[in-house]
Amino acid sequence: MSDLSSLVAQRIVILKQVFAAHPAYERLQAEFQLLLDRRRAEISAGVVMEARGIAVIGASGSGKTSAVARLFSHTPGLVIDEPETARTEVVSFLVPAPATLKFVGVTALDAVGYPFQGRRTEMIIWDMVRQHLRARRTLFLHLDEAQDLMRHQTKEAIQPVVRTLKSLMQTKIWPVGLILSGTLELRELLNHDPQLARRMVPVEFPRLTRHASADFALNVTQEYAARSSLQQMVNFNPDFAARLVHAADHEFGLLIEIVIEAIQVALLARADTLDLQHFAAAFERRSGCLPGLNPFLAADFERINTRVLLQNEVRR
């Protein structure tokens, strides 16, 4: 690795740690703080009440996973890992595939710090999960990609999953709140059972729009460019913002990725100014598209499906 490449890699790592707040995250933060304060107040008063949860819903690339990670790492006083007492107020894991109830339970045990090997029924495994959540004084269990709990499942198979999720929040000894993050399919899981749905506060990460999100796209680009000591090009205007939003398929998380990748191109080229050509090069690198199918170059860019890799002709 050259000295320039190494230096740029270090700067990009730092840049990726920058978090751009947005309304959906602010709502998530507020709702989580309400649930956390309520749960702590109940514990302080010696009262056991049914827990509640949050469903974080957004398309792939919306930034929901990063937002939840940011939430946990930046909530004041939230205990992530306390070695002296083994207390962990939040346990987080990615829903495994296949998402059978038993396999999810085994994954939850591993996440709580109790790797499990052996033969047990799913009922016993989930009893163990509850015991370890209580022992760790866990207040919230976070399941990422929670839509996979119902993917490829029959209605009969979904019902035990729903019952298990509700039982975590309803247990009389140590109720645990749920944070479920996933794609739009997650709504189907919640709406499968009205009792589960009413226990969850939905927080949606909506798609960006061409006009309403223009200022946001420009401001984010300006902030990240400034942090990289790059000047902005003169024509960072609404047309550029529309191209950036479309290139990101109208998703917040993908937009941030493209901005950072364009900055990487500029830094590797030893440029002083972040320009449209850097965004075009970044998109070409991530998609393998021809210039005529690059949303930063094409005149009629809105016809382009920006999720398709190695695209060399327009698909209508």
Residue 133 burial (10 A CB sphere; 0-12, 13-18, 19+): buried
**Residue 191 and residue 197 in contact, taking contact as beta carbons nearer than 8 Å:** yes
What pTM, to 2 d.p., does this model score? 0.90
Q: For residue 68, give both structure tokens.
A: 């939840």
pLDDT tens for the 316 residues of the chain, in order: 589 999 999 999 999 999 988 999 999 999 999 999 999 999 999 999 999 999 999 999 999 999 999 999 999 999 998 888 889 999 999 999 888 899 999 999 999 998 887 788 999 999 999 999 999 999 999 999 999 998 867 777 788 888 999 999 999 899 999 999 999 999 988 988 889 999 999 999 999 998 889 999 999 999 999 999 998 775 789 999 999 999 999 999 999 999 999 999 999 999 999 999 999 999 999 999 999 999 999 999 999 999 887 666 554 4
Measured between alpha carbons, how far is residue 164 from residues 97, 158, 161, 169, 248 in Å? 18, 10, 5, 9, 37
